[in-house]
Chains A and B, each alone.
Chain A
Amino acid sequence: MIGLTPEELALVGATFLASAVEIVETFTILLAMGLTRGWRSTIVGALVALAVLVTLTVVVGYTILRLIPESLLQLVIGGLLLVFGLQWLRKAVLRSSGLKAMHDEAAIFAEEAAASRAAGNERVLGLDWFAFVVSFKGVLLEGLEVVVIVLTFGISAGNIPLAAAGALLAILPITALVIVIRGPLARVPENAIKMVVGLLLTTFGSFWAIEGLGLFATGQASLDWPLGDVALAVVLVTWIVVARALVVLLRRRRPAVATSVA
């Protein structure tokens, strides 16, 4: 990562981690399809969905950049990022405090594999249609959230290609892990990654959305935070303290729930 500024590193790190969580979940579906129905149709379905996601990122990203003024962009993008970030953070806090069961990739894999074995054998264009559709939908739906994160981070930082590179980079190590393990990635610390991504999305979302409120001022210029960009670090520390305090408080208030499929 030589030659990248701290802001660019944060950009790549955030999209890499967000993408990594979604890819782990996607691979559980792909593995269940590949191992029970065959790899060819599963891989074709995944690649077609990936092509749709990349096209969507390029077309929507550049269209938005040309049409929308900066403060409106900050408000809309920051607001969206904030909603996503707070949802990720909420789930991570609830799981860390034992109020919500951990995401169980092994159990999800078993469910998907059982459904796959019970499905019919319809063939379309030489492909196993069930495996194709399930892997296409899996990659598309899990990837859509990554596309929104890549676009929001990329547009705000003025560097969509770098944000997309961070997301695509996550594919390599996780694919390598899946090839080595040959099973669902049940041991990846998914909740810890979700907590970090939730904190990053919430921090950038708060910062940009509040700056974007300048849209309603005379002149429509973005609002200034006290301390300028240093305020970003203060906002991050604020959310870390809030999340940590909530985990401690909620753990004390209620005993842990039994683990099951989330």
Chain B
Amino acid sequence: MSAVRAFGRFWYEFIVGDDWRIAAGVAVVLGLGAVAVAIGLTGPGLPIAALFGLVVIFVWPLLGE
């Protein structure tokens, strides 16, 4: 394995860990939140909706374990 691949693999395992769905879920929720903010949805409901989204992406894969 080349040094670059080993370096990339180390950071992948360090940040993404043993369940890629967590990192992917966080990226999706924050991405959707960014789009909502960009189109002007910055009311008090947005943080609550984003938190709800985070809870869903955490709970869903665990219920399938």
Contacts and interface: CB of A to CB of B under 8 A. Distances in A.
Given A87-B22, A210-B33, A214-B42, A242 B58 contact: yes
A210 B50 contact: yes
A252 to B, nearest CB: 12
A62 B14 CA distance: 22
A79 B26 contact: yes
B22 A86 contact: yes
Interface size class of A (residues with CB under 8 A): 35 or more
Contacts of A89: 58
Interface size class of B (residues with CB under 8 A): 20 to 34
Contacts of B38: 216-217
B4 to A, nearest CB: 19
The DSSP consensus for interface residues of chain B is helix
Given A79-B26, A83-B26, A86-B26, A213 B55 contact: no
B62 A226 contact: no
Nearest to A89: B58
Contacts of A80: 15
Given A90-B58, A250-B62, A213 B48 contact: no
In the complex, the 9 A-B pairs of residues with the closest C-beta atoms, listed nearest first: A226-B44, A216-B37, A216-B38, A87-B17, A216-B34, A213-B33, A86-B22, A210-B50, A210-B47
Interface string B9-48: 0000011111100110011001001111110101010111
Contacts of A186: none
A246 interface: yes
A46 to B, nearest CB: 20
A209 interface: yes
B22 A79 contact: no
Most chain B CB neighbours (cut-off 10 Å) among A79, A86, A225, A235 = A86
